[in-house]
Each structure stands twice: as structure tokens, then as C-alpha cells.
Structure 1
């Protein structure tokens, strides 16, 4: 009897032990991800846990030596003894195959030199494709937004995800989900524009693309996205990086949060990066209501939150909301920051802090779970290496290069086309001058490849805009000889194409160092660009301007003087070739402006969806309205909108409406058009926007062809934050506006009844 009792006790004890996660093997791929995390976490020492909460940059000593073997600095070797959360940009300056080899060797070293064989996350950025040598270079996000084609953006970011993974990367600190409305801000082109709905659609598709519809993460074909900067970073006061951010709670909820919420709930982003700035006086990196309350408790985010560069430590020495570096580390940890990016004076203090305050280890465990979970999702414990033979088959392949060209063609915006000067004919003998400071070395070659033998080109850059110093570039003095030479080139030609605007030196990120600047106090084109346009126009010959830039510019003189303007923002590596194809009529332009283009910096803030009361008064001595409105863009075809119709004039909280319009191409060429739907709430309990974009569709029509385009109107579209700071759906009158831009449309009405 005693033997039976003893055996029963053993069986019961064994069953308890089997169910204990610490008895499970985290290397067992048959376990769930959560089970594997819980099996590994208790094994780690405090120092090993903290190591899983830090990322350093590869530029401190990760490279290949002269024999092509992994070479690590003493500093890197020391950092990797306990493992690491991740490394930023390993192999960024070498080709894809070499980078894949380097990252395989690096990962092998990391796995073999920490006790538990924990792999590292290798992290990149993706502003115009993978931010690394030898990958396909796409246009910047603002350029992509001009396409008004989310499916195209998804395909583009799918390539980004595939190329990054083949280099051995696992995460990207992209895309930006910020709304940008101030062209003084040097990082403007990194985001998708001024509008909440457009940005939301683009961010969602970028994340789904780069993550391979989430399924690509575990299969090892794609990388994880880190949406940034949460929240309100694009709204820095004065457009000055690191400045304060003041946004009403209502605007935050209705306009700033939605792209991030969709990134979490629908696109399933693996990571979120916190904002450099404060938010209404509360430093974002020390804001538990934002990083835990909104992000996790409200939206259910399960991924990790990473700091922006050194920003936890800056809670002490810059934001001055923490009493000491240790207090800053605790503030970031309690707020919900899981990974410290770069800093040596922040989370590095956590082990000693825990010895004084053991309760902090619970928060450390919380963060480490999130980091380990990400590594398991990405399959790094089971398949940490890249198949080198696959790299050449997947990086810069022809289909990816063709996609870059396709994206360019759909993103170029025709702002002006006086007397239909464009497209130019390839069939007529023509001498064309390619002139101006934004001309590239291969621009002439790209135009020649498109135009054929009848068109002859001469090209001259003339002058640079700045001295091109990386930190704080300075404007160059006006060069009268250079201007005269450009004018003479134009005089000897039949038509001049001027490449004007701005470049990577006139609009860029203003890093923390005081010696690095990137924001501007004015938005007029710099240097003698306006003078150049006026002098060449005075010759009495046609002037076409190709506008290249990374921030919105007030191009009043260009708009007045040029016969045609193509706004290209910042296109792919094939940008000039794509521009030539538009100019010579191979494709009709179909881009639409993702921002409002002001006449003067004095109009800022100035976006199409401002409150209706903002439009009551104009300014003395300034023409009315924007230079070009949001959603504006011409075509080589003319489109006629007619027969707007709505399925019902009443909507209830439980029903939907359908609104439609007939669009006819009354031109003589096949072309694409973006049909835009805006909704205006006529009366609200709080002051309401003048109009809000709620839908858009891009269609292609042959000459003379018509299509009826329909949109659904749902009660969800009409919700906003009411008097009591709760989402409300208010009964009343609404207008629906469907058209070719935010200022040119047909409209109809309906009532919401409750």
C-alpha cells in the first residue's frame, strides 16, 4: 500500500514538473512561442536580461578584414559577452552578398559566445528602399504617397522586406507613421504627407509589405517593421527637430493616432519607436499613459518599444524631467520602453539599480519577454543564417528595378501644363537644354535613352545650392558667370528643362549635435533659382521645370514663369529616366500632391483639413488660398466627373451608404486618375474640419472611356472625439465631395439619423 501511495506521489510530482515552463526546452520548436519565451527567461542572469534590452551601432567596430573575415573591435567583443538585443546597420556599406556573409559570421559569433545561444536582431532603416549598399533604391515615402496607390506601396515594401532579409537583416526602423504638415521640418519627405487617411493607408500597406503579410517573418523571407515616432513627432514647434510638441488631445486621437493604431491592429507591426519629443509637456520616452496606456492597454500591442537614439538618457540631460541618469532609466522602463538604442548612460545602469530596488526586475522581465518573443517570431532560434546562394537571386533583380520605375511613373505630379506644352514630341527635330543645380551626372544619358535620335540634348548644372557640408551646409554666393552660361545654353536651344528645388543638403534630419542642422526658417527655393527661371523665360522660349525636393517649397516665381512644372519630390535611382518618359509622353502623369503647397511660409499651419473657421480670413497682400491644393495633379487627359449619386439620403448607426460618380476620359490618351472622396460634417458639437479625405481610388481609362466609381460611407467614418473626449457619432447633415482634388469636386448630401 505504501509503495502504491509513493508511486502516486511521484506521478503527481512529475506532472507538476512537466507543466512547469522552466522544465521545457526553449530550443524545442514544437512549443508555442510564449512557452519558449517562458522556458528561456528564467535561465538568464540579470545582466543577460539587460543585454537583451540594448542595441548598439555596427560603426563602433563590426566589419570584414582585408581577407574577408569578421573583425570585431574590443568594444564590440565586450558588448557581446552576455548577448545583445540587436545591432544597427551591420554591413550597410558593402554589397548584399558580402553583407549576408558578414551577418552570418556575426550571428554565429553572437550565438556561440553567449551562454544560451540567443541570436541578435540586425536592424536597418528604409526611407527609399533598404538603407544599405547594393539594394533597389525606391522613391522616398512622400514620393510614394503621391501615387495614391496603396497596393503599389505594398509591393514596393515587399521588395524592401525581401532584400533586407537576404542581407541578414531582421527589423527596420521604418515606416514613419507621423503626420507632417510643416515644411520647415527637415525630415518631411520621410513621412507620407499631411493627411491622416492617406498616411494610414500607406503605413498599413508598407508594414504588410515589409513583413510579408506577417507570414514572411517566420518563413525567413521578410523583416519586422518598427513604426515611428510615437507620437506627434512631425508636429514639432517651428518645424525644429527636438522642439516641444503641442497637440490638443482631440487632434491626437482623431488625426495623429490613427496611422499608429492601424499599424498595430491591422498591419501587426512588430515594433514601435517612441518620439524624440515631449507631448504637451510630457516627455514621450517617459510617458506611461502613451506607451502603455494607449499603445498596449487600448490597442493591445504585444511587440517591443524601442527608444529613439539615446533618448532615455536625454530624459535627464536634455528633457530635464529626471533627476539623474538612473532616474531617467527607471522612468523609461516604467513607461514601457523595452530597448535602449545606443546609450551607454541609461539601461546600462539597470543591474546596479535592481540590486538597490529588486522590484525593477519585474519590469525588466516584461521587456525581455517582448524582445525574445520577437526573435522567436522571426524564427531566429531555429534558422538564424542566410542562404548565400539565394542573395543574388533576390536582391536588385529585374522585377524590383522595374517596380521602382513603375512607382516613379505613378508618383510624378504635373502641377502646370500651359497650352499643353507637354508632352514633347520625339518625332520632331528638337534641341533641348537640361539645366540647373539639381541636374545629375547621368541625367542627359537617361533622357537620351528615352527621347531617341531626333532630339538633341545639351546639359549643364551651372551651380550648386550649398557647399554640401554634411553637418551644417552653407549657401553659396551667387555666381553670375554660371547663370550667364546657363542662359546662353537655353538661348541656343528650342526648349529648356530646368532641374530646380532642393536636395539632401537643403532638407535633412537635424541631429542632436548643435553642429548638425536640417530644418529651415523659410521655404522659398534657395540660391538664384528664381532668377534663373526669370532670365531663361525672358528668352521667349518654352521653360519646363522638373522640381526635385525633400520639403514643400513656395514656388511662386516658378509657378508664374514656367510653362510646365513636374513635381517629382525624390524619386528612385531611375527618377530622371521616369521623368523623361513623362515629358516625352510615354506615360501620362497621375500623381497627386500629398500635401498642400502654400504661397508663403506665413500661411503655416496650412493643410486642407483644417477647421472650417481657419478659412474665414485671408492675409493682406497675398493671393487667396494655396498655390496648389492637397490632392492636386494634372494629366495629359481631361477627366469629366458627372452623375454623382447616393444610395440613400439617410444613414443610421447600423447601415451603410454607397456614393458613386461617373468619370469619363474626354482626352485622346489613356491615363490614370485618382478619384477622391471627402466628407464634411456640417454641424458638430465641437468645431469640425473643413473636409476630410475618407476614400480614394486610382483607375485607368482609355480615350473616351467611362467608369462609374463607387465608395462606401460607414458610420465609423463619421466618428470624432466629442465634448467629453469620447468617440461620438452625431446626427445631422453631411456633404460628400467626390472629385479630382480637395478643391475640385461634385457633391451630394445625406443625413445621419440616430
Structure 2
């Protein structure tokens, strides 16, 4: 009998098939869906649930002094059945040590689960990869100020490559949120206030991180676009507060960046929002996470919760009566991975015993996680090259890229009497002072300025005590002492460069327990205005370098400074870029990605509000913004002329080409951001004052002209009408092209049925 069985098996093999079950999931040439289903069919319930949970490496993942893996008993227990992923492993290590850690950690994960399923390792990337030794780029709000989508893509491409070299596979970035309330402490993590600008920046950042999706299986990481959706619209600008927003605004203004991330950039993941939409918690919103995201948009990736937010459906948002109800709501809504919680998806094995219908939803979530891992090539390529992590991370090309972005992101807000650029041929002393002055700024300025310029520097005082949880402002007595110290130092100078704005503690994320980061006003904290006024009493020119993470109401600065450079938060090379800009080696070309209010009482202030919001002003104050959206000066000048339309009458399906001549009328080469706005004259619902629909950054030599053409396509004219259907309505439109939202040439066209 044994001989007969052997012969039968031999015959089956000889004819090209065998009756023994194959491990199709290990066959890299098979379609991913086939591999997913094969692996899923082999998994126990406990193994499936492990694939929809994630924990933080802070629970006990590290290396000892011999660079060998050390895991806590807690972590070992969590890996018994495998795991979806682990957050931030090795982030505090050098790239080389992180690669060593992550290779050993991955080997442990694979060896210690029955089916050998690898884990994905996850980071964040607000200013580059959020890990030691990586290139530190400008914050997203700074990068958006460049209005250069190609540059932004190249930056995120570098981030994605550096992350993968460390052995990381995903990042909980970028943020597709629209930031219109500067009270919100996370403003700098976004790309600004405008739907179109944010959309284009999101497409650039996601495609960059993912290496145009071609790099996902080896050289780059997956983007997890967040927070879906409406997160930055929180009431009162307070993190975790409710989101009050109309369905029409939600569709037309909030969703487009996310839709573009899915359909144009192929984002691998989506993170759900802390908040709610019209009372429906985002983590329990089937309409949002399944109907819109998956059914309507065709999203094939996975959805991860924000930290602990599934459990919070019960104990914070109180839309679930029990922790089990919270887990059920999130799972059925379409949340695939539970980030951090031990009181949510961890409960599913017991819940299935009484409610077997949950298996269907668990299988769907697990399938999406496994598909992500196959897409990332983790079954074939689970490890990274330690030597390359050491040699390539933060290389010269990446550092040069960070500096290039700084040059293009700096915004010249004011330049009274053309005081800038400074003349390095004059023998003068310059005082570098102020509470956000970096300790090494002087050396950067000395490198740029040359032998004729002498520098003195003095920080004077700090804005806060540096408490990362809930910072306290420096006591007034210490601040006043620091102001006197600065003024005394500046007396010996011929000109003052004053560094003011925010430190990283005055504008930050407010954490769920204990930490604050939002503010109830946006005036510069402490006595920074008083510092400027005291310096002005010296009778010397004062140039303000503004470093900040949220929009500030800089009325005193705008009124009294001789020049203002708005830098937001630049890269690690920011001071060098500032120095080169001040001395004219760089011609500023940044433009505001937000509208700057005079005070918090003007909110909302974004330029694209409904037109009726602009009818009346306020008693006893200016109603206009301090600086409009899209604004930014240059050391040269640009003239717009000859606005032309290919057609003045078109159908709802037609494209109209609009062109304008832009001429550099100054004496030096400069870059200009040409901005296209559309105004719908009348609609079935109240329409915005205008909306950005296109932009292009061009470089012109002195005296050079260029014809810039935009295609006005039907999708630019669409909005959600009275019947809640997205459409192009016939009627009159304006096309506006210029260098900012309030400085444009205007043309008209009509759309007919």
C-alpha cells in the first residue's frame, strides 16, 4: 500500500500537479489577491485578530550594548500570533542601529508566528522622517509656502527612501486636513487653508513617499493619509472637540484632498479622524469609511484608527455603551487596524463566540492588511541593508534638497524703502537677537556676509520653560530682563535682525491626557511686541525674521518693522537660507498658504468663504486681513498683462484655455507664483467669493516675459448644488489671474447647457 501511494504521488507530480495543498501565499509571482485569500484561509481567529492590531515600540523594543535585540515580556506576548505592525521601532537610534534593530525585530516576528507573517513598521514624518539621524526638512506649512509641487515631491521622495533604509514601511503622514483656524496647535502639520493647494501638495507628498508606487516593494514606504476627515475644523480650535461643518462644505472643500490621495496618488493607507461629522464619530462612520472611501472612490488600501480612538467611541465620545460595542462599530464601519488599544479589537475573539457574523468583517479587515504587506514586498524583502542605511541617510543630496526648499519657502511680507537686500560691501555691525534665535545662527550669517560685516548676538530670553506636555510662559520679570539685555547688545549695532514668533512648545499637538497645545488667541506670546518697540527706540532699522507654527496676528510687527521675512519653520539649514535671503543671494519667492488675520476675532478669515461673508466689517477695526492668501513680495517686480480666453461661451463639458503675459520688470532674476482663481457669479446655492483652481511657479530673468496658460476644465467649475449633486451649472463666471488672491486681472466667460 505504501508503495502504491508513493507511485500515485510520483505520477501526480510528473503530470504537473499534486494533491497536497500548496502555500500559494509564498509564491511571489501569483496575483496579490490570490496570495491574500490563500493565507487568510490558513489563519485561526487569534491569528486574524493579531493582524488587525498595532502597538508602540515603547512597550519594550530595543537593542542592548552589543546591538542585540531585547524585547520585554509584554512585547513577546503580543507577538505570539503575529501582529499587523509596530509603531516607531528604533526612532531614537541612528539609521545604522535602527536598521540593525528592525532586521532583528522582523526576524523575530516572522519566526515566532506559525505562518511566518512579517510586520510592518511605522513612523511619522512632519519634518522629515521622525527619527534620529534623518534629514530634517521644513514643516508642511513651510513647504506649501514654496508653491512648488515638483520640489515637494522630491522632498517626500527623499523621506520615503530614508525611512525604508531604516527598515520602516509606512508613515502616518501626510495630513490632508484643511487648516483655517490658527488656534489649532497642529496647524503646521498641514499644507494650509486652501482646498486646491492642499490637494496638489498631498498628491506630491504621497507619490513622493511611495516612489510613484513603484518603490513600495523595496525602496520607499507607504503613505497613510490623515485625518479622514474634517479633523482640523474642530470647534474652538481645540483638539478632540466636535466638528461642525455643513455637508456641502464637507463635500466641496474637505474631501477633495483625500479623494486625490486615493485616486491620483494611490495612498496605501488612510487614518480616521479623532472627530465626528454631524455627530457621527469618524471611527464609527460607515458612510465615510466604506461607502465614500471604498465604494465611491475605489480605495483598496487599509484604514487605521488614530491612537486609541476605537475604545474612545465608548469612554469619550459615548456613542457605544460598552467597549465591545465600540469594537463592533469601528469594525463594521471599516476601520481595519486598531492602533495601540487593549480595550477594542483585543476583545474580538470572545465577541465572535456570541456573534459569529463578525467573522466576515474581520476577514475583510485582515485581507486589507495582508494586501498591504504583499504590496510592500515584506514576504520577499523583509529586511533592509544596514550599510546603505548608514551611508545614504541624510546624504549631501538630501541636505541640498532641504536647503533648496528653504530658499523657495521664505516669504517676504514687507520691505519698506527696499531696505533688503542688505549690502555686504558696507562695513556695519548687525545684531542678531530675539527669543527664537538659534544658538548657531551667527555662524551661518558670518559664512554668508563676508569680512565687512560684524555680528553680535543675544537670545535674551526663552518664550517658555520647554515643558513638552503643558509649557508655561517665561515669567514677565525674566522676559523684561532679557529685553533689556537685548537692547543693550543692539546699541552697538547699525541694524537689528530680530527673531520672534513661536517655539515648538507654543504651538503643538494637544494630547488626550494632560497635554495642551491649542490657544485662545494668536497674538505673539510673551512680550515680543514690546521687544520690537524697545528696539525701534534705538533709531536703527529692525528686520524681523518670523519663525512660527501657527498664523500669528503680527499687527505691531507689520506696523513697526522695516522688513519682515516669514519663515514658518524651516529645515535644519533654515538660518543659512535666511542669511542668504537677507543679503540678496536668494530672491524670495514664497507665497502665503493661508490668510493672515489682524486678530482672532476675524475668524473665519480664509479668502474662499461664501461671498456674502464679505458684505460687512466690524465696528472700530479693519475688516480686511493683514495679508491676503497667496501674498508674497520679491526683490524684483512682475507685471501681468494681456489676459486672454480661448472662448467666452462654452458648454458644461468644454475646456477653456486662459493665458496671461507675465514680465519681470525689475533688475534681477526672480520666481513668481502665477495663480488662477475662478469666481462663480451666481449658483443654485450661495457661492464662494473665489476659489484657487491652478497655479504655476515660473522663473524669469530681468526684462524677460512668459506667456502662462491654464486650461479651465469642467471639474474646476463643479460644486454641490441645491439637490446635493455635484455638477457644473450653466451661468456666468470670472477667471482671475495674478500674484495673490487680491491682485488679479479679470476676464469673463459663460457656460451654457
Compute the TM-score of the two structures, normalised by the length of structure 1.
Answer: 0.97
- Look up the match of 1:99: 98
- Look up the match of 1:719: 718
- Look up the match of 2:497: 497
* TM alignment of 1:558-597, pairs within 5 A: 558-597=557-596
SS of structure 2 residue aligned to 1:26 = helix
Give distance in 2, aligned partners of 1:16 and 1:146: 61
- Look up the match of 1:5: none
Gaps of 5+ in 2: 1-10
Matching of residue 341 in structure 1 with residue 339 in structure 2: yes
Q: Deviations over 1:62-106 (max 9, x none)?
A: 000121111000100100111000000000001001100110000
Q: Deviations over 1:198-242 (max 9, x none)?
A: 000000010000000000012x00000000000000100000000
8 Å CA contact 1:162–1:394 kept in 2: the answer is no
- Look up the match of 2:252: 254
Give distance in 2, aligned partners of 1:633 and 1:751: 32
SS of structure 2 residue aligned to 1:200 = helix
- From 433, 442, 445, the equivalent of 2:443 is 445
8 Å CA contact 1:171–1:226 kept in 2: the answer is yes
* TM alignment of 1:453-492, pairs within 5 A: 453-478=451-476, 479-492=479-492
- Look up the match of 2:745: 746
- Look up the match of 1:509: 509
SS of structure 1 residue aligned to 2:250 = helix
* TM alignment of 1:235-634, pairs within 5 A: 235-478=233-476, 479-513=479-513, 515-634=514-633
- Look up the match of 2:53: 54
Q: Deviations over 1:121-140 (max 9, x none)?
A: 00000001000000000000
8 Å CA contact 1:435–1:498 kept in 2: the answer is yes
SS of structure 2 residue aligned to 1:740 = strand
Q: CA deviation at 1:25?
A: 2.2
Q: Are the structure 2 counterparts of residues 15 and 343 from structure 1 closer, same or farther at C-alpha, using a change threshold of 3 Å?
A: farther
8 Å CA contact 1:18–1:24 kept in 2: the answer is no
- Look up the match of 1:186: 185
Quote the RMSD (CA, aligned, Å).
1.7
- Count of equivalent residues: 743
- Look up the match of 1:154: 153
- Look up the match of 1:130: 129
Give distance in 2, aligned partners of 1:206 and 1:472: 31
Q: Deviations over 1:268-298 (max 9, x none)?
A: 0010000001111000001101100110011
Give distance in 1, aligned partners of 2:480 and 2:504: 24
- Look up the match of 1:228: 226
Q: Deviations over 1:599-637 (max 9, x none)?
A: 010001110000100000001111130000000000000
8 Å CA contact 1:272–1:303 kept in 2: the answer is yes
Q: Deviations over 1:663-686 (max 9, x none)?
A: 111111111000000000001110
Q: CA deviation at 1:441?
A: 0.8
Q: CA deviation at 1:24?
A: 4.5
Q: Are the structure 2 counterparts of residues 310 and 51 from structure 1 closer, same or farther at C-alpha, using a change threshold of 3 Å?
A: same
Q: Deviations over 1:362-390 (max 9, x none)?
A: 11000000000000001000110111222
Give distance in 2, aligned partners of 1:35 and 1:222: 24
SS of structure 1 residue aligned to 2:310 = coil
Give distance in 2, aligned partners of 1:375 and 1:17: 28
Moved over 6 A (4+): 14-20
* TM alignment of 1:54-73, pairs within 5 A: 54-73=53-72
Q: Deviations over 1:329-384 (max 9, x none)?
A: 00000000000000010000000001111110111000000000000001000110
- Look up the match of 1:4: none
8 Å CA contact 2:652–2:730 kept in 1: the answer is no
Q: After alignment, is 122-131 or 532-541 more displaced?
A: 532-541
Q: CA deviation at 1:537?
A: 1.1
Compute the TM-score of the two structures, normalised by the length of structure 2.
Answer: 0.97
8 Å CA contact 2:602–2:623 kept in 1: the answer is no
SS of structure 1 residue aligned to 2:131 = coil
SS of structure 1 residue aligned to 2:672 = strand
Give distance in 2, aligned partners of 1:299 and 1:52: 25
8 Å CA contact 1:17–1:23 kept in 2: the answer is no
- Look up the match of 1:648: 647
Q: After alignment, is 585-594 or 535-544 more displaced?
A: 535-544
SS of structure 2 residue aligned to 1:481 = helix
Q: After alignment, is 383-392 or 44-53 more displaced?
A: 383-392
Q: CA deviation at 1:517?
A: 0.1
Gaps of 5+ in 1: 1-10
- Look up the match of 1:39: 38
Give distance in 1, aligned partners of 2:124 and 2:620: 44
Give distance in 2, aligned partners of 1:149 and 1:19: 58
